[in-house]
Amino acid sequence: MSRIPEPVQTPEGPTYEGRLLDRVDEEVVDQGAAFDIRTLVTRRGVLGLAGLGVGAFVLAACAPAATGTATTDSSGDTDASTGDSGTDSSSGSTATADGEIPDETAGPYPGDGSNGPDVLEESGIVRQDITTSIDGSATADGIPLTFEFEVLDMANGGIPFAGVAVYAWHCTAGGEYSMYSSGLEDVTYLRGVQVADADGRVSFSSIFPGCYSGRWPHIHFEVYPDVDSITDSANTIATSQMALPEDACAAVYADSRYDGSARNLAQTSLASDNVFGDDSAALQLATITGDVTAGYTATLVVGVDTTTTPTAGSAPSGGDGGPGGQPPAN
């Protein structure tokens, strides 16, 4: 191997082949990739190196940067290949949380043992389809709705919160709650638990909930650290509610099974709702697709910050729901 010439001292500093060294205190061989590339492209032997692939390396190194903006993923790694979307195709996750999901009351009908009935002690509560009672004895009727949560761990940079357990529940098309409303005390439909996958996602098959007096249409949920924690409601790391978009609600409530819901919807708004009214459900309003014929899919990104103390109040006593009645507005 031929010996590399020593740098030449000039008034401007040491040079090699007429180029100032980037690192004046280092040897020529330790000047770094940028200096090496400039050296290669000025040598007459570059074309001869192409057969070894070095020429291709030089051309790639000197090519203009990609138009996409480099993004930093939740693990702190920079990825310049994501382009404008910033989507990490390796994980399949595209969501970001704009903030921690607001803590809300569990309401008077949680069924989590905090005020009497406890569905979370029952075998079979971990299920995706919640349209039927756990024992199969009753089925809720209404427009099909699949609702999904993507839970993100904000204490760790917004990464998917894999392994957390999400308990969700909501009212019937008539605005009643299983386990509480008159005649439904022994019914457990529209309640279930799912464990988040590697992308922090859970999904439930259900029906579109009705709208009872005093409340905007909503779905309750609690987030637990893991499925083993669900037997004690004190273990929740977040308690909140998903708000459903008005256009979809109006379309669904034209169905005769939702008698009274259209009237109740017209008498409230997100801004006046006693749960969503603080910010008109800025972080709780679901994105929804579908129609009344095929059913709907509602999705919500849920940012959970385990470094903050949950503030949701304890559930009050239960009572009858229903658009025709006046249930507690929670």
- Token look-up 């529209």 returns 190
> How far apart, in whole angstroms, are the C-alpha atoms of residue 142 and residue 155?
38
- What lies within 8 Å, CB to CB, of 134 at 6+ separation is 119, 122, 123, 124, 125, 127, 188
Q: Where are the domains of the chain?
A: 8-62, 119-304
In the prediction, which pLDDT does 23 show? Answer: 67
Say how far apart CA 191 and CA 140 lie, in whole Å: 11
Residues of the chain with pLDDT under 70: 1-94, 313-330
Distance CA 261, CA 111 (A): 23
Which CATH code is given to the segment(s) 119-304?
2.60.130.10
Q: Are 83 and 71 in contact, with CB atoms under 8 Å apart?
A: no
Phi and psi, residue 65, nearest 5°: -65, 155
- The CA-atom distances, in angstroms, between 294 and each of 152, 158, 269 are 29, 33, 26
pLDDT of residue 277: 95
CA distances from 265 to 20, 82, 286, 321 (A): 74, 42, 17, 15
Q: Tally Cβ neighbours within 10 Å of residue 8.
A: 11
